Amino acid sequence: MTFVFEDIDDVEMERRRSVVEPLTDAVRDLVDAVIRTEVAEGEIPDVTAAVRAVTERLRSRQSDGPYGVRYTRAGTGMPWGNPAVGVRNAVAPPMRVQAGDDGLRWADVRLGAAYEGPPGLVHGGICALLLDHLLGEAAGADGTPSFTGTISVRYLRETRLGPVHLEARTDRYDGPKKFVTGTLSDADGPSVVADAVFVIPRWARATPPQEAPQ
Amino acid sequence: MTFVFEDIDDVEMERRRSVVEPLTDAVRDLVDAVIRTEVAEGEIPDVTAAVRAVTERLRSRQSDGPYGVRYTRAGTGMPWGNPAVGVRNAVAPPMRVQAGDDGLRWADVRLGAAYEGPPGLVHGGICALLLDHLLGEAAGADGTPSFTGTISVRYLRETRLGPVHLEARTDRYDGPKKFVTGTLSDADGPSVVADAVFVIPRWARATPPQEAPQ
């Protein structure tokens, strides 16, 4: 596993983000349009060729492998290829994670046609993806690294497409384990609950935290 | 929740799939290229405009809402907007679900840059998304409808990007509950295990199955 440090400050990072984000947003919009289009079939091959031409242009200079997680000089993470939050990844809605008090992590996301499972409803696996990611962020709020051991996702009822709200926080510690819980809510209230156990790796256990993060 | 029946046979469905699938594949390739490109920043606005032009063309005629799940005359489902398996959805890798003996459902999928969490590794939430979907297909293998109650995803170790193999089947029944298990494996063997409880809705409980599906 390689972590890449880019020799840039956080101002430069924000500038770079502002360049790439409109492109990713445009591709998100294209993903939605491909699902919903009803143009005549005869047009599709031509549209396909236009998409391939754009891709070829972007591939004229590209990294060999996946994006990885990069860091600025100040240590700010740039998980820009991430499928939940990545500003370069059109698979991601994206979820923009916010920090609250006491280690709370939360996000408001709008989920459209690309995240549909049953008609008009969010795919249960998309709820699991977003909760898995957010609970991971909440586990990391205390600064101690940890890895997901188990996550249990309980579906209270269906979740409607549209705006959803997510929250997560670390509830308690037990030795090298962190117990993290979270919820996903649609306009009618909580619809999915998640409980996860995160494990602090041996090399990071020197000073195990005893309190929930502040 | 509305289900839409299209007045087409399965041959026509396959023909329609063959028209739209190359477009979706081209957009998947574009998603990957946006993550990995290193072209000069000056080119990005122009590329963004080209993507928007394609989207506008597709939107000249489109459905009002999400795709839904449609059915052919023969009752074959067309979950083409689905984020795990949808042939119109570039968010989906896609996972192509296969049927084996005794209600087994399995799939081989290649996961690239768009599904990366930690550097070089599959995002845990993507494992959860694919397992959630596949376990749902396994639960439906007996023909009795059911909805996910809870899914527990246990990470045995990290999963490498590249080819992954998934399997799921219904293990046992208990009243209106189906217990379904599954695994996700990379080249080194199983890396994620999932256990789920699916609940048969009251209206479908007239003749509860007592045996695992054949």
CATH number at residue B170: 3.10.129.10
Please state, as a whole number, how many other Cβ atoms lie within 10 Å of the Cβ of residue A45. Answer: 12
User: Which residue from A54, A62, A154 is facing B36, i.e. has the nearest CB?
Assistant: A62
Pairwise CA distance, residues B34 & B23, whole Å: 17
The pLDDT value recorded for residue B77 is: 87
Report yes or no on B210 lying in a domain: no
Question: What is the extent of the structural domain holding A191?
Answer: 97-204
Which chain A residues have a beta carbon less than 8 Å from that of B136? 124
Which chain B residues have a beta carbon less than 8 Å from that of A88? 34-35
Q: Are residues A49 and A118 in the same domain?
A: no
Collect the ranges in chain A with pLDDT lower than 50.
214
Cβ contact A124–B116 (<8 Å): no
Domain stop point among A94, A113, A141: A94
Pairwise CA distance, residues A130 & A133, whole Å: 5
Report yes or no on B214 lying in a domain: no
ipTM confidence? 0.93
Q: Are residues A72 and A145 in the same domain?
A: no
Lookup: tokens for A52: 């391939």
Q: Are residues A86 and A10 in the same domain?
A: yes
Report yes or no on B29 lying in a domain: yes
Which chain A residues have a beta carbon less than 8 Å from that of B133? 123, 125
Report yes or no on B213 lying in a domain: no
Cβ contact A86–B24 (<8 Å): no
Which chain A residues have a beta carbon less than 8 Å from that of B1? 118-121
Question: Phi/psi class of residue A201: alpha, beta or left (left: φ > 0; alpha: ψ in -120 to 50)?
Answer: beta
Q: Are residues B107 and B173 in the same domain?
A: yes
Judge whether A137 and A144 are in contact, CB under 8 Å: no
Q: Which of B113, B127, B91 is nearest to A68 (CA)?
A: B113
Q: Are residues A41 and A126 in the same domain?
A: no
Report yes or no on A209 lying in a domain: no
H or E, element range at B45: helix B44-59
Q: Are residues A181 and A111 in the same domain?
A: yes
Collect the ranges in chain B with pLDDT lower than 50.
214
Q: Are residues A133 and A168 in the same domain?
A: yes
Q: Are residues B89 and B106 in the same domain?
A: no
Report yes or no on A212 lying in a domain: no
Q: Are residues B80 and B106 in the same domain?
A: no
Number of domains in chain A: 2
Report yes or no on A3 lying in a domain: yes
**A6, A34, A59, A161: best to mutate for the B interface, most B CBs within 10 A:** A34
Report yes or no on B212 lying in a domain: no
Name the residue in chain B with its Cα closest to that of A55. B30
Give the number of A-B residue pairs with CB atoms closer than 8 Å: 309
Cβ contact B120–A20 (<8 Å): no
Please state, as a whole number, how many other Cβ atoms lie within 10 Å of the Cβ of residue A124. Answer: 27
The pLDDT value recorded for residue B202 is: 86
Q: Are residues B30 and B71 in the same domain?
A: yes
Domain stop point among B94, B112, B141: B94
The pLDDT value recorded for residue B21 is: 97
φ/ψ of B100, rounded to 5, equals -115, -165
User: Which residue from B26, B34, B51 is facing A52, i.e. has the nearest CB?
Assistant: B26
Which chain B residues have a beta carbon less than 8 Å from that of A154? 149-150
The pLDDT value recorded for residue A199 is: 94
Q: Long-range contacts for A205-213 (Cβ within 8 Å, ≥24 apart)?
A: A205/A176, A208/A144, A208/A173, A208/A175, A208/A176, A209/A142, A209/A144, A209/A173, A210/A173, A211/A173, A212/A102, A212/A103, A212/A142, A212/A169, A212/A170, A212/A171, A212/A172, A212/A173, A213/A102, A213/A103, A213/A141, A213/A142, A213/A143, A213/A170
Domain stop point among A73, A94, A115: A94
Question: CB-based burial of residue A101 (10 Å sphere; 0-12 exposed, 13-18 middle, 19+ buried)?
Answer: exposed
The pLDDT value recorded for residue B212 is: 52
User: Which residue from B20, B30, B132 is facing A27, i.e. has the nearest CB?
Assistant: B30
Q: Are residues B177 and B114 in the same domain?
A: yes
Q: Are residues A180 and A161 in the same domain?
A: yes
